[in-house]
């Protein structure tokens, strides 16, 4: 009798399905949590978007953006931009080369695959501590933002590309060292272990067993970091390391919108070009 009565259903098969979203409760909870978290964050960062829309602010921004057109295209400025573009690329290339010089010995010292004591199963204490120490060094090199390194070096060697090159070398040396070690460890260890067990030296094992297998990935990552270094070197120009960044900083301080527009366009073209070259190199060398 109850099975056929829709107003008093006791048979679950005849109960109409609930009309609400089954994931309703977690969604509402997380959205509310985000909103509750949002308020102190907005206070702490002085987040007042209406400031952007105030009349005085709009006037200044409008004038600045308006001065972007036409972009500055006179020959003298373009020669300057071309020279600074080359300087940016040169700073990035020199920085990555030095980073590579720093990273290679640190990688060889820190990678577990070349450990002779680990062949018997568990690494001995002294080699383990030594390898951890090298890893900590790489972490410190990597964690200090390159802008901070550049600020410090500008105080020591003065303005100019040297501080930019050194800042990139130290930070990217840390990054390259860590990822090289990870790439080496993620490969196939059998060939290396066989060579080490049969008495070959560590460098021989590295060159004949470890390197051939991982060289493609190593090269690919290095080229990717070179492309990142070009972007970094523009940022470093803001603190005096020369190149496009310094020109951009100068142009912005003088509110010269035309020059800023040209420089931004050149920068975006440079990044796109480096991206293309990087993809070609990775396909060709790997």
Partner 1 sequence: MAGLLALVVSSFWSLDLQWAQFFSAEAAASMGRFVGEFFPPDLSPAFLRKVGVGMAETLAMSLLGTLLAVVGGLALALPASKGQQLLRAPTRAVLNALRSIPELVWAALLLISAGLGPFAGTVALALHTTGVLGRLFAESIENAPAGPAFALRAQGAGTLQVFFYATLPQVLPQVMSYTLYRWENNIRAAAVLGVVGAGGLGQLLAFHMGLFHMAKTATILAAMLLLVALVDSLSYAWRRGLTR
Instruction: Using CB under 8 A, list all residues that contact partner 1.
Output: 21, 23, 34, 37-38, 40-42, 44-48, 51-52, 57, 60-61, 64, 86-87, 89-91, 93-94, 97, 140, 143-145, 147-148, 151-152, 155-158, 160-162, 165, 231, 234-235, 238-239, 248-249, 252, 255, 260, 264, 267-268, 271-272
Please state the closest distance from residue 276 (CB atom) to partner 1, in A: 13
Cβ nearer to partner 1, comparing 93 with 115: 93
248 with 263: CB under 8 angstroms? yes
d(CA 129, CA 90): 38
Cβ nearer to partner 1, comparing 58 with 124: 58
Please state the closest distance from residue 212 (CB atom) to partner 1, in A: 17
Kindly give, in sequence order, each residue whose CB lies less than 8 Å from that of residue 46, ignoring residues fewer than 6 positions away.
none
Among candidate residues 225, 223, 95, 110, the one with its CA nearest the CA of residue 168: 95
Please state the closest distance from residue 235 (CB atom) to partner 1, in A: 5
d(CA 274, CA 96): 14
Cβ nearer to partner 1, comparing 23 with 126: 23
Please state the closest distance from residue 135 (CB atom) to partner 1, in A: 14
Cβ nearer to partner 1, comparing 191 with 277: 277
Please state the closest distance from residue 93 (CB atom) to partner 1, in A: 4
Kindly give, in sequence order, each residue whose CB lies less than 8 Å from that of residue 163, ignoring residues fewer than 6 positions away.
150, 153, 154, 156, 157, 236, 239, 240, 241
Tokens standing for residue 173? 């040396």
Kindly give, in sequence order, each residue whose CB lies less than 8 Å from that of residue 88, ignoring residues fewer than 6 positions away.
230, 233, 234, 237, 243, 244, 245, 270
Q: How far from the centroid of its chain's Cα atoms is residue 62's Cα?
A: 33
Please state the closest distance from residue 5 (CB atom) to partner 1, in A: 30
Cβ nearer to partner 1, comparing 1 with 44: 44
Cβ nearer to partner 1, comparing 193 with 256: 256
Radius of gyration in angstroms for the set of CA atoms belonging to the chain, rounded to a whole number: 29
> CA torsion sign, 33 to 36 to 39 to 45?
negative
d(CA 276, CA 264): 18
Cβ nearer to partner 1, comparing 48 with 276: 48
Please state the closest distance from residue 97 (CB atom) to partner 1, in A: 5
d(CA 258, CA 251): 9
Which residue carries 């105080």 as its tokens?
155
């Amino acid at each position: 009798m109850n099975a056929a009565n829709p107003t008093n259903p006791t048979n679950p098969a005849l109960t109409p399905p609930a009309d609400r979203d089954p994931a309703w409760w977690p969604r509402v909870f997380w959205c509310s949590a985000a909103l509750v978290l949002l308020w102190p964050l907005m206070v702490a960062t002085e987040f007042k978007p209406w400031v952007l829309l105030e009349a005085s602010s709009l006037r200044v921004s409008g004038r600045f953006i308006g001065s972007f057109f036409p972009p500055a295209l006179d020959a003298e400025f373009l020669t300057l931009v071309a020279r600074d573009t080359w300087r940016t690329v040169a700073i990035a290339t020199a920085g990555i080369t030095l980073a590579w010089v720093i990273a290679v010995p640190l990688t060889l010292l820190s990678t577990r695959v070349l450990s002779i004591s680990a062949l018997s199963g568990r690494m001995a204490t002294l080699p383990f501590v030594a390898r951890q120490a090298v890893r900590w060094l790489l972490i410190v090199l990597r964690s200090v933002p390159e802008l901070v390194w550049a600020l410090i070096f500008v105080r020591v060697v003065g303005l100019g590309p040297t501080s930019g090159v050194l800042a990139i070398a130290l930070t990217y040396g840390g990054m390259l060292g860590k990822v090289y070690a990870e790439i080496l460890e993620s490969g196939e260890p059998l060939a290396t272990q066989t060579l080490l067990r049969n008495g070959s030296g560590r460098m021989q094992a590295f060159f004949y067993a470890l390197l051939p297998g991982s060289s493609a990935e190593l090269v690919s990552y290095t080229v990717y970091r070179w492309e990142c270094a070009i972007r970094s070197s523009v940022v470093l120009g803001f603190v005096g390391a020369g190149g496009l960044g310094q020109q951009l900083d100068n142009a912005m301080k003088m509110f010269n919108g035309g020059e800023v527009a040209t420089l931004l366009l050149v920068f975006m073209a440079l990044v796109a070009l480096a991206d293309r070259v990087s993809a070609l190199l990775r396909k060709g060398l790997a």
